[in-house]
Amino acid sequence: MDLLQNNFSTFLQGFGYTLLSSIIALVASMILGTFFAILQILPQKWVQKVGNIYVQVFRNIPLLIITFFFFLVVAKLIPMNGFTAGTIALSLYTSAFIAETVRAGILSVNSGQMEGARANGLSFWQAMQHIVLPQAFKIALPSLGNQFINLVKNSSILAFVGGLDLMYQGNMVAANTFDTFGTYIIVALFYLVITLPLSYYMQHLERKLKHAA
Amino acid sequence: MVTLGIFDAFTPQNVQYLLGGLGITVGVSVISVILSFIAGSVIGIIQFERLPYFSKFVATINNIIRNLPLLLIIFFVYFALPKLGIHLPIFWATVVAMSTFESSMLAEIVRGGLESIDKGQFEGARANGLSNLQTMFYIVLPQAYKKMIPPIISQLISLVKDTSLAMGIVLSEMTYRGQIIYAQNSTYIIPVLIVITLIYFLLNYGLSLIARWFDSKLA
């Protein structure tokens, strides 16, 4: 308990950075992910290919490598700190998974919805935005939630580039106090405060959707 | 000179060193996926069977582990377990951490797979005189595993990628060895990162193609 009291502000600061990075990356990866999901269902073959290559590349390489790329290479051209580099990498990495989820959501919306909207005079983009995407997001919601949980967990990657997040601060406290056991338990509790309620809520949503279907 | 510089990093010695790291990456991933497949199956079956109290308890522990960052579990196993008198060498600490984490993921997949099996399969097997355990092993699990092959392969892909996190405890896997190589000379950073990226990509993309092949065969 002393450990928590003495280092409370450090933990809290780390918690704040973890939350901040996760929320920024969530918004960015939702936008990017939706964009690349739509690319993959457009009629033009080469556009589909571009979307597909993006998704395959970012899904199949470690997040740590993407982070190092931004921290060591891109940061030479555009100065940025570890937090920024990590958050950008996190956004790109997660967007590939979100693109897959959203694409599956769009494909599971009955094609009659698009045809009906087009027949009623909406343009492709209007139909996408007002008719198809809202339904697709609803279907994809549980898996999107799981992606967000993964995002929060993956934000611990910031610790590798001095990103001041919860994991980074935890390592600092562990190194200063030598109480590795207590420190990592406290860090775990802080992570669970975010991820566990989300996870239970997503399980609840999944069950609800299953019964509705 | 600039074009020459790109290949400077790849002396035979460095290439051999990097490939040795790949061996460790693959080794950790394969051992972990086998261990977590076994543990994940047991945990998944316990959750599926809804034993009073015990299943709830196991499910809660499983949920906690699933919702923690793998990096934290790696640090915990390597830095905190010694406080309890459990000392593991780096390689096995990584295997234990990754297997623990992946078991909790696979348990969810196994539970989902079991739940997707038609109730009639249980009832039919039971009506034909098989015991509960026999029903599970001969009738239900084989059908469930068949459906689970693609998600299990995607877990293996995650494992291969996540092994890179073990450089946090200085496991000498591929990403760590890459860092050692470009620490010699900063012009090596870009070529080494590109080559490591390509190796991970080819390995994981190959695995994802296998998963897709199974997917299309089973559909």
Residue among A57, A159, A192 minimizing CB distance to B67: A192
Q: How much is the pTM?
A: 0.91
Question: How many CB atoms sit inside 10 A of residue A56's CB?
Answer: 16
State the CATH number of the domain containing residue B165.
1.10.3720.10
A184 interfacial to chain B (CB closer than 8 Å) = yes
Question: Which residues of chain A make contact with B69, given a CB cutoff of 8 A?
Answer: 153-156, 167, 191
Euclidean distance between CA atoms B42 and B45, whole angstroms: 5
Residue among B68, B79, B84 minimizing CB distance to A174: B79
Residue among A60, A187, A192 minimizing CB distance to B208: A60
Q: What is the per-residue pLDDT for B215?
A: 83
Residue among A69, A156, A200 minimizing CB distance to B71: A156
Question: Which residues of chain A make contact with B82, given a CB cutoff of 8 A?
Answer: 180
C-alpha closest to that of B100 among B85, B116, B82, B81:
B81
Number of domains present in the structure of chain A: 1
The residue written with tokens 């060498």 in the block is B89
B61 interfacial to chain A (CB closer than 8 Å) = no
Number of domains present in the structure of chain B: 1
Give yes or no for a contact between A134 and A4, defined as CB atoms under 8 angstroms apart.
no
B200 interfacial to chain A (CB closer than 8 Å) = yes
* Shortest alpha-carbon distance between residue A114 and chain B (Å): 26
DSSP letters, A38-98, are HHTTSS-HHHHHHHHHHHHHHHHS-HHHHHHIIIIIIHHHS---HHHHHHHHHHHHHHHHH
Where in the sequence is the domain holding A129, given as residue range(s)?
2-212
* Shortest alpha-carbon distance between residue A127 and chain B (Å): 31
C-alpha closest to that of B54 among B42, B40, B38:
B42
Mean pLDDT over each residue of chain A, to the nearest integer: 93
Euclidean distance between CA atoms B56 and B65, whole angstroms: 14
Residue among B69, B76, B167 minimizing CB distance to A153: B69
pLDDT, tens only, B1-12: 445 566 777 888
Residue among A57, A72, A187 minimizing CB distance to B201: A57
* Shortest alpha-carbon distance between residue A193 and chain B (Å): 10
Residue in chain B closest to A72 (alpha carbons) equals B189
Tell if the CB–CB gap between B201 and A61 is shorter than 8 Å: yes
A163, pLDDT greater than 60 = yes
- Percent pLDDT > 90 in chain A is 87
Question: How many CB atoms sit inside 10 A of residue B202's CB?
Answer: 11
Q: What is the per-residue pLDDT for A213?
A: 63
Buried b (16+ CB within 10 A) or exposed e, B46-63: bbbeeeeeebeebbeebb
Q: What is the ipTM of this complex?
A: 0.91
pLDDT, tens only, A49-88: 999 999 999 999 999 999 999 999 999 999 999 999 999 9
Query: In chain B, which residues have pLDDT < 70?
Result: 1-6, 219
Q: What is the per-residue pLDDT for B4?
A: 55
B66 interfacial to chain A (CB closer than 8 Å) = yes
* Shortest alpha-carbon distance between residue B10 and chain A (Å): 19
DSSP letters, B160-171, are HHHGGGGGGGT-
Where in the sequence is the domain holding B71, given as residue range(s)?
2-218
In the predicted model, what is the mean pLDDT of residues A189-198?
95
Residue in chain B closest to A199 (alpha carbons) equals B67
Instruction: Count chain A–chain B contacts defined by CB atoms under 8 A.
Output: 108
Tell if the CB–CB gap between B72 and A180 is shorter than 8 Å: no
A43, pLDDT greater than 80 = yes
Residue among B67, B71, B162 minimizing CB distance to A159: B71
Tell if the CB–CB gap between B193 and A69 is shorter than 8 Å: yes
* Shortest alpha-carbon distance between residue A177 and chain B (Å): 12
Tell if the CB–CB gap between B197 and A200 is shorter than 8 Å: no
Q: Which of residues 71-100 of B touch A (CB under 8 A)?
A: 71-72, 75-76, 79-80, 82-84
Euclidean distance between CA atoms B80 and A183, whole angstroms: 9
Q: What is the per-residue pLDDT for B1?
A: 44
State the CATH number of the domain containing residue A130.
1.10.3720.10
